[in-house]
A = this chain, B = another copy of it.
Amino acid sequence: MKKIKLGIVGCGIAARELHLPALVDLKDKFEISAVTSRRKESAEEFAQMIKTQLGYTPEIFNSYEAMLDSKSVDAVDLTLPIELNVPFIKKSIEKGFHVICEKPISTDVETGKEIIELSTKTDRVIYIAENYRHDFRFNKIRNIVDENVIGKPVFVIWHLWIGMDKSNKYAKTAWRQNPKHIGGFLSDGGVHHIAALRVIFGDIAWVSGTVKRVSDYLGDDDSLSAVFEFKNGVIGNYTISYALSGRQYFEIVGTNGRIYMDESKIRIVGEHGAEIQIPEENTFKNEFLDFYEVLTQGKPNVLGHPVEALKDLAFFEAAIRSRGMRIEVDSLMK
């Protein structure tokens, strides 16, 4: 079996803590052949981690351009400040490489459209990594809903209180403290939740919401509450704060039962009551495996398609612009 030679670009938290463990699990499918970072010491540290965990040392490049020119990789894995995603994806495609890029796709919807356009013109794979699309929980809940276990779903409600303090490792990231992308943590982290809800219910028609800035250290608005409607008629209600602490709450209410989700289980209440343990899984591994199958087995790029990632982001751009006014998500996508 051919291994994909992967060049990792950006050697920060996502590369070290999210992607590397998945690639260690998939060491028969991927070889991390190269790394690069703006900070040489960071690339060297990361190369050392790879040596320790995988037993080989990747080539270290001083620049992304040098990595691409070296032809020592088949595909690049971008784990970068958000504002670099679009230019770096473009460079990779220009040079003929496949690319997997950590979400969100771009700083804003308009910029992200360049990637959609590009994806229609290239035979290279542009895969936006959104691990929540590969998550047991949301795929399982979609199946439960599709099998009519709770009747017709009417409402989905999700409250998340992330409560990051100043010492949080993400809060301390320089590019997150001075974000060049819309919505700061709201879109950066929030695209996961909207991706998850779209796994269950499909596309969102419109959103109305409002944002607040509660903390003075999270770089931008950090709290949001929105009501929205999926194209299938389900009403959504999503409230999140990266500044405030609280108790997470996830509930789907249908005509014949409800679904709750907590850290460890999915619980169905109603006629067909049941409890489903959430298995341990590495959703990043699922995602890289899908990317691998897209690259090597001609599997269509559905879950990593840039349009899906852009729809997740469009929800936030709409909610942030909304100030209580209804915005059709598709109006941003056009």
Contact = CB atoms under 8 A, between A and B. Distances in A.
Query: Chain A: interface secondary structure?
Result: strand
A326 interface: yes
Interface string A311-334: 000000000001111100000000
A227 interface: yes
Given A155-B241, A206-B324, A210-B229, A253 B246 contact: yes
Q: Count the copies.
A: 2
A13 B144 CA distance: 41
Nearest to A209: B227
Contacts of A243: 255
A214 interface: yes
A324 B225 contact: no
A208 interface: yes
B237 A239 contact: yes
Given A244-B154, A251-B246, A258-B246, A208 B159 contact: no
A206 B249 CA distance: 25
A226 B210 CA distance: 12
Contacts of A212: 154, 233, 235
Contacts of A323: 326
B237 A325 contact: no
Most buried by B among A227, A235, A239: A227
A243 B324 CA distance: 26
A175 interface: no
Interface string A194-233: 0000000000001111101010000000010111110001
A259 to B, nearest CB: 11
B206 A154 contact: no
Given A325-B325, A326-B325, A253 B241 contact: yes
A157 B214 contact: no
B244 A253 contact: yes
Contacts of A251: 159, 246-247, 249
Given A155-B239, A326-B324, A227 B210 contact: yes
Given A208-B208, A210-B235, A225-B235, A241 B154 contact: yes
A233 B323 CA distance: 12
B255 A227 contact: no
Interface string A82-112: 0000000000000000000000000000000
24 contacts: A154-B212, A154-B241, A155-B225, A155-B239, A157-B239, A208-B322, A208-B324, A209-B227, A210-B229, A212-B235, A225-B227, A225-B237, A227-B227, A227-B237, A227-B324, A235-B239, A237-B239, A243-B255, A245-B258, A246-B253, A247-B258, A323-B326, A325-B326, A326-B326
Interface of A: 154-155, 157, 159, 161, 206-210, 212, 214, 223, 225-229, 233, 235, 237, 239, 241, 243-247, 249, 251, 253-255, 258, 322-326
Given A155-B244, A227-B237, A247-B251, 13 more contacts: A161-B253, A208-B322, A208-B324, A208-B325, A212-B233, A212-B235, A226-B227, A229-B324, A237-B239, A244-B255, A247-B258, A323-B326, A324-B326
The 3 lowest CB-CB distance pairs between A and B, nearest first, are A324-B326, A208-B208, A325-B326
